[in-house]
């Protein structure tokens, strides 16, 4: 099928939801994507932080192929080995229970329902969940309401009640919001969609302390930051805390859709049979893929490599871009970084220029360029990308 025909079908028959770049990718290898004309592009966006092992990784392809030849799906009415293997690894010594689903939004829905179920069981009225302004927790009705950005939720009112919003990295505001109706605090270690905004150490540790003091759950949405993205398996490990609930998705399956809600203590035992469920979640194919990703992260030196590559990426961005006065900030951790530009420079135009030069990068809030490459990215590829980005920025006069 020719690209023009593909575009025409999309234009006429797909819901008008995405602002697509004018390229059709056909295959990939390592950190490189190839379009239908055979042009190569180095990927620094990773399918929005999803393709953790890059493209055509031999171990991932082998596991998916072998599992597809055995069993793709049954249902959660029966046991399956890949699922048991995966939850054993994810629960580990930190959590007590896991629920597998298909996406980050579903994982966050599970976390929200745990809070409501506990409040219902206890009859204590603690149904309210505090989230941060400029957060992002998903596209379902509940998770888009939990998201602290009205641009995502306003078109879908009336919205579910039971959420209140506080400024991110403001511990005093969080403390003031902890009224008697609050059952949980739900935060991101790094707010990805709003501009790659890391939580400060004092803020996240303080939130953990306040949650313990008030007897409320601390939920950490690690859909984007988990599964190794920041150089630890969970980003909360950098803060030395242990949340009650953590949600994962994106990079967990290396490109195969899978999400997970992990819980400990009373949060892990809140559900009874029939309270929650999923048809596709935790199917053998998705779990076989996730097992490969988790094994790479836990049983090789990949986490150390992510940390080292992240430092290299940060230094390369800083050394080449900081001289430009319109580069307002460079922030992030591991292989998740944002470069915030002056509002007079539309980041979408930079993305388009980089694509024409053979590099895939992304955007997020506050006019920020976002970088979330596969974990197999190389230093040479980082140098090539930052050289081209610096060349583009050097041609801008404001």
Q: How many CB atoms lie within 10 A of CB 93?
A: 4
Residues in the chain: 398
For residues 261 and 348, membership in a common domain is answered with no
Query: Has residue 203 been placed in a domain?
Result: yes
Residue tagged active-site, from 43, 44, 97, 221 = 221
Give the integer Cα–Cα distance in Å for 225 and 192: 8
In a domain, 62, yes or no: no
Is 66 contained in some domain? no
Q: Which one of the listed residues 126, 250, 314, 320 is annotated catalytic?
A: 250
Predicted local confidence at residue 177, as pLDDT: 98
- Tell whether 65 is covered by a domain: no
Please check whether residue 284 is in contact with residue 83, taking contact to mean a CB–CB distance below 8 angstroms.
yes
Q: What domain range is 160 assigned to?
A: 71-299
pLDDT of residue 346: 94
Domain boundary among 279, 299, 319: 299
What is the mean pLDDT of each successive set of 10 residues along the chain, which is 398 residues long?
87 91 95 97 98 98 98 97 98 97 98 98 97 98 97 95 98 97 98 97 98 97 98 98 98 98 98 97 98 98 98 98 96 98 96 98 97 98 98 92
The distance from CA 317 to its chain's CA centroid, rounded to whole angstroms, is 22
Q: Phi/psi at 48 (nearest 5 deg)? A: 65, 60
Query: How far apart, in whole angstroms, are the C-alpha atoms of residue 186 and residue 217?
Result: 8
> How many structural domains is the chain composed of?
2
User: 177 and 230: one domain?
Assistant: yes
Residues 308 and 388 in one domain: yes
Q: Is residue 114 located within the same domain as residue 232?
A: yes
What tokens does 76 get?
A: 């959660």
d(CA 174, CA 209): 11
Residue 333 belongs to a domain with what CATH number?
Answer: 3.90.1150.10
221 flagged as catalytic: yes
On whether both 273 and 339 belong to a single domain, the answer is no
- The catalytically annotated residue of 44, 99, 136, 236 is 136
Following DSSP, what letter does each residue of 190-202 receive, concatenated?
EETTTT-EEPPHH
306 and 293 together in one domain? no
pLDDT at residue 136, rounded to an integer: 98
* Whether residue 149 sits in one domain with residue 216: yes
Q: Which of 284, 299, 314 is the last residue of a domain?
A: 299
CATH number for 211: 3.40.640.10
Cα distances from 366 to residues 191, 317, 394, in angstroms, run: 12, 18, 21
Is residue 170 in some structural domain?
Answer: yes
- N-terminal to C-terminal alpha carbon distance within the chain: 43
64 falls within a domain: no
What pLDDT was estimated at residue 111? Answer: 98
For 392, the 3-state DSSP assignment is: helix
Catalytic (active site) residue 250: yes
Say if residue 12 is in the same domain as residue 131: no
Same domain (yes/no): 53, 77 = no
Tell me if 42 sits within 8 A of 30, measured CB to CB.
Answer: no
Q: What is the CA radius of gyration of the chain?
A: 21
Please give the pLDDT value at position 3: 83
254: number of CA atoms within 13 Å, CB side? 29
Tell me the CA distances in angstroms from 90 to 126, 193, 234, 298, one per residue in order. Answer: 28, 25, 10, 10
For the chain, give percent helix, strand, coil, nearest 5.
Answer: 40, 20, 40
CA 213 to chain centre: 29
Residues 191 and 282 in one domain: yes
The answer to whether residue 63 sits within a structural domain is no
**CA nearest neighbour of 378 among 321, 318, 295, 305:** 305
CA–CA distance, 346 with 351 (Å, rounded to integer): 9
In DSSP notation, 207-264 reads: HHHHHHHHT-EEEEE-TTTTTTTTSSSSGGGGGT---SEEEE-GGGGTTS--EEEEE-
Which of 299, 318, 351 is the last residue in one of the domains? Answer: 299
**Together in a domain, 17 and 49:** yes
Q: Based on the domain organization, do 207 and 183 belong to the same domain?
A: yes
Structure tokens at 60: 């991932």
């Amino acid at each position: 099928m020719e690209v023009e025909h593909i575009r025409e079908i999309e234009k006429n028959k797909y819901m008008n939801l995405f602002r697509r770049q004018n390229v059709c990718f056909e295959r990939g290898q390592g950190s490189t994507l190839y379009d239908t004309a055979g042009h190569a592009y180095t990927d620094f966006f990773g399918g929005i932080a999803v393709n953790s092992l890059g493209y055509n990784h031999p171990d991932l392809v082998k596991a998916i192929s072998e599992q597809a030849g055995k069993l793709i799906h049954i249902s959660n009415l029966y046991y399956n080995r890949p699922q048991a293997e995966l939850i054993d690894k994810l629960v580990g010594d930190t959590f007590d229970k896991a629920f597998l689903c298909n996406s980050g939004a579903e994982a966050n829905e599970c976390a929200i329902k745990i809070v409501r179920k506990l409040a219902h069981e206890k009859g204590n009225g603690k149904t309210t969940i505090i989230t941060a302004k400029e957060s992002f927790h998903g596209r379902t009705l509940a998770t888009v309401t939990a998201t602290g950005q009205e641009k995502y939720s306003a078109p879908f009112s009336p919205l579910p009640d039971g959420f209140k919003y506080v400024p991110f990295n403001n511990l005093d505001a969080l403390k003031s919001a902890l009224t008697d109706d609050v059952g949980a605090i739900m935060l991101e270690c790094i707010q990805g969609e709003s501009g790659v905004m890391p939580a400060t150490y004092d803020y996240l540790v303080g939130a953990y302390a306040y949650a313990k003091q008030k007897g409320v759950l601390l939920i950490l949405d690690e859909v984007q930051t988990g599964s190794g993205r920041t150089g630890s398996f969970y980003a909360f490990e950098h803060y030395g805390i242990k949340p009650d609930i953590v949600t994962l998705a994106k990079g967990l399956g290396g490109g195969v859709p899978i999400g997970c809600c992990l819980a400990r203590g009373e949060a892990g035992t809140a559900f009874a049979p029939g309270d929650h469920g999923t048809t596709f979640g935790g199917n053998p194919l998705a779990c076989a893929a996730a097992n490969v990703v988790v094994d790479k992260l836990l049983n090789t030196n990949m986490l150390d490599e992510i940390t080292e590559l992240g430092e290299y990426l940060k230094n390369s961005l800083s050394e080449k871009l900081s001289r430009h006065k319109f580069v307002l900030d460079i922030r992030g951790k591991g292989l998740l970084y944002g470069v915030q530009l002056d509002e007079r420079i539309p980041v979408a135009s930079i993305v388009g220029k980089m694509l024409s030069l053979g590099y895939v990068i992304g955007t997020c809030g506050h006019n920020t360029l976002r970088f979330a490459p596969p974990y197999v990215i190389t230093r040479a590829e980082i140098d090539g990308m930052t050289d081209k980005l610096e060349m583009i920025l050097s041609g801008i006069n404001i």
